Chain A
Amino acid sequence: MIAPPKKDNVFRALDRKLGAVAEFTMRQYRTKLSTWVVLGVGFIAIAIIVLFYVDSMQKEIEAIDNDGDSADWDGDGYPNGQERIYGTDPDNPESHPGTFTPPIAPDPPEKWINEDDFDWDLLATGDTTVGYDDDGDCRLADTTQSQKDRNRNNVNCDIILDYSELRGEWLEPRSDGFVDEDPDEEKYSKEAIHRAFLLAIGKMGFVFLLGIFLPLFLATGLIREEMENSTMHFMLAKPIARRDILLGRMVGYLGIVWPYIIAMGVIVGLISGFAGPSDGFFRFADLGMWMAIIFATMLATLVYGMLFCALGTLWKRGIVLALPFAAWELGMAILSFNAPAASILRFSVIGWSLNIIDAAALIVWPNLGLFIEMGLWGGGGYNSDFWGGTQLEGADALNAFASDTGLGISPLATIVVSTLVLLFQASVLWIVGSAIFKGKEIE
């Protein structure tokens, strides 16, 4: 016989009905082959993206002598850059710093490759003029004044950065001649490719692919399959509201999907942390990004799960109803890359989820926009107009995957608002799903 009821604490209360449904659902998932197929396919899809990334991190990026001063025109063993600094004639083999007293030894040519890297750290002071002429060729006496102060701000050898409030982005830098004109390609590109990868796999791999793929195949049948299998009869014959059955089933679904997402995030985060460019052995700096990616994906699977579960309850072929939603979300995902402020994005799940990642990127990597602009400018091609673009590898990719949060508020506020909106969406879908389920007659 039944023991007299004890006073419930939170855990005892959870142990009853809701916990039972959730636990049952999780155990049911584990017995189904389809669950493992879906999780396995998700793993393979992410693994393929990671392989491309690891490959690009292993690849050597050729160091280019953008300003050509490692050349030795007169064949005297002294690179042009070194000869210019010492005022000797790079075209005359008789004239070189070796004739000085005491004589100066010739530099190896490599010393004059990538010798004038970006010096944009000044940004930290809030100044918008940056750059330092590391190799000294801007400050030479024979450099004309119009070259030394090409941007006409009465400061020699600097770069002016302009932010356009109107366009919401950094404009092309206005640089004096020969400043930061021979950047380190490898250093920039690896960093840019790494960041682009994080944004790409976070947005498209995790939030879009896992975020839609997992619920599509795991949540659509949460209620429907039990109805079709006639096993729902057992559950409905117990004193538990249908809304609670739906909630318990959802909790069980999240009990499978959320640990999976966390595990995937940790695995890919570890791989990219070791493979990515860093001063130490591991890139701890990305921790915030991975937290945001995992968090955004968890929220996405929650909302899509509620949505697809409701659609599955509504109609036998709920997956057919779910596909147009998935297509809509894909469109919105693509739109968010180009027009993050478009108001139509507010009517999507993915727009809000991606906001979280974009906002986190701005927190983890301050001046991300400037970093992109730096690579697109790439030293400015000898700082003159006729040398053409010297865009650095990775800048374009990063530019494509990074976007503003589009809400016009601070990154932290964006994360809070987006989270609340997603939770609100999930609650509304839960109520709608419950109403559909409650109205269902089950034979």
Chain B
Amino acid sequence: MIPDLQQVGEAQTQQWAPEVNTPVVLLENVSKTYGKIHALSEITLALSGGVTGILGLNGAGKSTLFNLLMGKLKPSSGSIKLFGTDPWKNPAPYARVGFVPEHEKMHDWMTAHGFVSLFARLNGLTRQEAKLEADRVLDFVGLTDVAHKQIGRYSKGMRQRVKIAHALVNDPDLIILDEPLQGCDPLARTTIMNVIRELGKMGRTVLVSSHILHEIERITEQIIILHNGRLLALGNLHAIREKMDNIPHTISIGCENPKELAKDIINNDAVFGISFPSGDNLQIQTHNLNEVHKVLPSLIVENGHKVYSIDNPDDDLESILKYLTGGLA
């Protein structure tokens, strides 16, 4: 590895000021290759404000993208700007950035309070300021009670929240969360989702990655879909969904009497096929998911069917990817 001697920038928090008329995150034709493997190719992206979900299967390039943003990797080509500054050359923008890495490893021997206040000091706070700041952010993620316990004794969800707390130090404008919900129990999931939504409401720019569509859906509608290192889609999740309405969808309904329900629903134009996988289950094939979802509730109520569940088994990231790539996923 030849040292990059051009990377001479120093943390100059005092002098550094974010550029005003530029997006918080700006990527222009960014590619990252390892030999012949393209981890990311030709990504162009500008983000400012609000929560953006980054969706992609494992290995789609989500972590590579974040590592590039966090100045841990150098782009093979293209340019990256955070607040108008190249993070590989100058770590100063990180004064305004909070990062929650995906990695499990933490300094288990530290207390949450010690951990957070340490990194607050790296943000340029003195020992005293850092302690107050740690109290504040740990309260924000709801860990005040256990703040002085060792991180090693925490559950997965609590560790995840410590990481989020450490990222919120100094009240950053840009928060990047790499798979923050992975491995968390439902309660921790809800807490973390609430925290992220809260940050979005506060006007922060939040980037959150996941490979599970429903998780992201509960947090935000603004999504970016990465696939094999390429930017596949960018925009509102519902808009993408609507485009998919014209392709066949399956709706799975768990109910007491599937045959009766089938009789009522077969008349609808949008439905073109029905099957009975089991005694208390009904599957409907449709081209127009929206239409079916519109009529289904009233139909059930009017005819007094007992329904346990309505599921869209193919309404997940894989099927969106399949659609967007034309079946190549």
Contacts and interface: CB of A to CB of B under 8 A. Distances in A.
B122 A235 contact: yes
Interface residues of B, number: 50
Contact of B99 (A19, A237, A436): A237
A202 to B, nearest CB: 36
Interface in B137-182: 166-167, 170-171
B127 A2 contact: no
B72 A239 contact: no
A121 interface: no
B129 A20 contact: no
Interface residues of A, number: 40
Contacts of A229: 105
Given A435-B5, A440-B1, A233 B72 contact: yes
B1 to A, nearest CB: 6
A82 B159 CA distance: 91
Contacts of B11: 17, 239-241, 244
Interface in A8-32: 12, 15-17, 19-21, 23-24, 27-28, 31
Contact of A237 (B5, B70, B110): B70
Contacts of B118: 20, 23-24
A324 interface: no
B121 A237 contact: no
A3 B129 contact: yes
A439 interface: yes
Contacts of B13: 239
Interface string B3-44: 111010111010010000000000000000000000000000
A238 B7 contact: no
A15 B121 contact: yes
Interface stretch (B89-97, B184-192, B291-299, B310-318): B89-97
Given A238-B94, A443-B72, A12 B3 contact: no
Contact of A439 (B1, B70, B93, B126): B1
Interface string A229-273: 111011111111111100000000000000000000000000000
Contacts of B183: none
B127 A15 contact: yes
Contacts of B106: 231, 234
A438 B89 CA distance: 9
A229 B118 CA distance: 18
B250 interface: no
B59 interface: no
A2 B125 contact: yes
A244 B67 contact: no
A28 B118 CA distance: 12
A20 B72 contact: no
B171 A1 contact: yes
Among A19, A23, A314, A435, max chain B CB count under 10 A is at A435
A432 B1 CA distance: 13
A16 B125 contact: yes
Given A2-B170, A233-B101, A439-B1, A15 B126 contact: yes
A236 B166 contact: no
A233 B103 contact: yes
A165 interface: no
Interface in B107-132: 107, 109-110, 118-119, 121-127, 129-130
Main secondary structure of the interface of B (DSSP, over half): loop
A242 B8 CA distance: 10
A231 B16 CA distance: 26
A122 interface: no
B73 interface: yes
A148 B72 CA distance: 84
Contact of B70 (A3, A23, A24, A236): A236
A231 B151 CA distance: 13
Contacts of A237: 70, 94, 97-99, 101, 167
B2 interface: yes
A237 B96 CA distance: 10
Among A440, A441, A443, max chain B CB count under 10 A is at A441
Interface string B182-218: 0000000000000000000000000000000000000
B204 to A, nearest CB: 14
B49 interface: no
Among A15, A28, A238, max chain B CB count under 10 A is at A238
A59 B13 CA distance: 65
B74 interface: yes
Contact of A436 (B1, B16, B97): B1
B70 A438 contact: no
A171 interface: no
A20 B97 CA distance: 19
A17 B170 CA distance: 14
A12 B72 CA distance: 29
B84 interface: no
A21 B122 contact: yes
A314 to B, nearest CB: 7
Contacts of A235: 119, 122
A2 B103 contact: no
A439 B4 contact: yes
A234 B122 CA distance: 10
Nearest to A245: B122
B121 A314 contact: no
Given A231-B106, A443-B67, A443-B72, A239 B123 contact: yes
**6 nearest A-B pairs in the assembled complex, by CB-CB distance:** A20-B121, A237-B99, A435-B3, A439-B3, A230-B103, A238-B122
23 contacts: A12-B126, A16-B121, A16-B126, A20-B118, A20-B121, A231-B105, A235-B122, A236-B72, A237-B70, A237-B99, A237-B167, A238-B91, A239-B94, A239-B122, A240-B11, A240-B122, A241-B10, A241-B11, A435-B4, A436-B3, A438-B7, A439-B5, A442-B73
Interface of B: 1-5, 7, 9-11, 13, 16, 67, 70-74, 91-95, 97-99, 101, 103-107, 109-110, 118-119, 121-127, 129-130, 133, 136, 166-167, 170-171
